[in-house]
Amino acid sequence: MRVMSERISRRIGAITESATLAVDAKAKALQAAGEPVIGFGAGEPDFPTPAHIVEAAAAACRNPKYHRYTPAAGLPELREAIAAKTVRDSGFVTAAANILVTNGGKQAVYNTFEALLNPGDEVLVPAPYWTTYPEPIALAGATAVVISTDVSSGFKVTLEQLEAAYTPRTKALLFVSPSNPTGAVYSREQTIEIGRWAASKGLWVITDEIYEHLVYDEREFSSMATLVPELGDRVVILNGVAKTYAMTGWRVGWMIGPPDLIKAATNLQSHSTSNVCNVAQAAALAAVSGDLSAVAEMRAAFDRRRRRMHALLSSIDGVICLEPEGAFYAFPSFEGVLGRTFNGRKATSTSELATIILDEAKVAVIPGEAFGAPGYFRLSFALGDDDLGEGVTRIADFIGGR
Ligand SMILES: Cc1ncc(COP(=O)(O)O)c(C=O)c1O
């Protein structure tokens, strides 16, 4: 008997679409069709990339040297500059040889998990988590062990929770601060405590530092890689230019790790995407070699929007919203709103409520289900002040039946 072949592989067939990109695409499609939709979906700054970075790319475009392949690991001068920038910004001392330039931070996530994990391995993933992490873990045949946190702990995982989730199969801990989607920022003490725990278990730590420059009030960014030297050669830093320099579309990120891991990940990348676009690397070189004045200006605007969004969301009956400490996301609980009927449509989950709000109030938010946290919404505050005010007011009016 002939066995029917499966058209799509089981591994890839099991991958879900990125919910954040899907909501953003739907919002943009509705906008293009003339609907007055306001989108809180995409995590991208509304600012243009700073002029000196664009100029560097324009100059690279005119220079035939940049019309060619680069080494798979990236332009040597960019890797040097990333090493220098890492010491400057987080105090972590590294060398160009320990850096792989990737197509955005997302490919650094993918490369890391594919290069590190074997089937059966477990990775501790505190939730709410960024929607992308579990997929490459599953693709590697490993398991994401999700550790739930909520507003009561400020969305921060505790040592007790980590200890309870740990098994002899645990290979790595994923640590993300400032966090997408919650905006939580771990203190220096918490970072050290968790890092030392991971080191004592002999775990790898993958620390995603892409929001390092977006912390508010008196808070400071703490790099676990720097603060916990006991992690030795089992620490991987993920980073990129997207959020710091308003460069989401340029697609430049990187991973920093021990030589054997970087070599393995470079081999993988050499067969998948080769090098990152040469011109984009020239732009990233200008970004990371320059000063941080542009991000300081953007941070001031995000800070203003953060306060406004927090105040508006907190005023909605049934909504609990912590003030975001970093990144550019608010992560309010809409649990208290579920079960109500809006325009004849009952919302029993935040996933359903998000659809109703998009259809009826023309506002796009990402439901917490996408981040392993039903009951919440993620709203980016990296959009213009007017849209932000109008969008959250629309949600408040809609929920309040006005
Ligand atoms: C926590 C985190 N890491 C990595 C990335 C990847 O960013 P990019 O691929 O645009 O560089 C994102 C983007 O949303 C993120 O939120």
303 — phi, psi (to 5°)? -60, -45
Q: How confident is the model at residue 370 (pLDDT cuts 50, 70, 90)?
A: very high
253 in ligand 1 pocket by Cβ < 6 Å? yes
To the nearest 10 degrees (0 to 180), the angle between helices 293-314 and 385-399 is 20
**pLDDT attached to residue 4:** 62
pLDDT exceeds 90 at position 64: yes
The pTM for the full model equals 0.95
Residue 347 in tokens: 């919302």
340 alpha carbon – ligand 1 mean position (Å): 34
Region 362-388 average pLDDT: 94
CA distance 131 to 160: 24
**Which residue minimizes the CA distance to atom 4 of ligand 1?**
105
240 in ligand 1 pocket by Cβ < 6 Å? yes
CA distance 127 to 121: 19
Residue linked to tokens 């590190």? 116
**pLDDT attached to residue 373:** 95
105 alpha carbon – ligand 1 mean position (Å): 5
Residue pLDDT, tens place only, 144-163:
999 999 999 999 999 999 99
Q: Give 320's strand partners.
A: 333
User: Residue 176 CA: which ligand 1 atom is closest?
Assistant: 1
Residue pLDDT, tens place only, 304-333:
999 999 999 999 999 999 999 999 999 999
242 in ligand 1 pocket by Cβ < 6 Å? yes
Q: Is 14 exposed, middle or buried (0-12, 13-18, 19+ CB in 10 A)?
A: exposed
pLDDT exceeds 80 at position 88: yes
325 in ligand 1 pocket by Cβ < 6 Å? no
**Which residue minimizes the CA distance to atom 16 of ligand 1?**
180
**pLDDT attached to residue 191:** 98
User: Residue 211 CA: which ligand 1 atom is closest?
Assistant: 1
pLDDT exceeds 70 at position 72: yes
Region 280-296 average pLDDT: 96
User: Residue 327 CA: which ligand 1 atom is closest?
Assistant: 16
326 in ligand 1 pocket by Cβ < 6 Å? no
CA distance 65 to 219: 43
CA 239 to chain centre: 10
Q: How confident is the model at residue 240 (pLDDT cuts 50, 70, 90)?
A: very high
Region 100-125 average pLDDT: 98
**pLDDT attached to residue 2:** 53
Measured CA to CA in angstroms, residue 128 lies from 109, 202, 207, 376 at distances of 17, 25, 15, 9
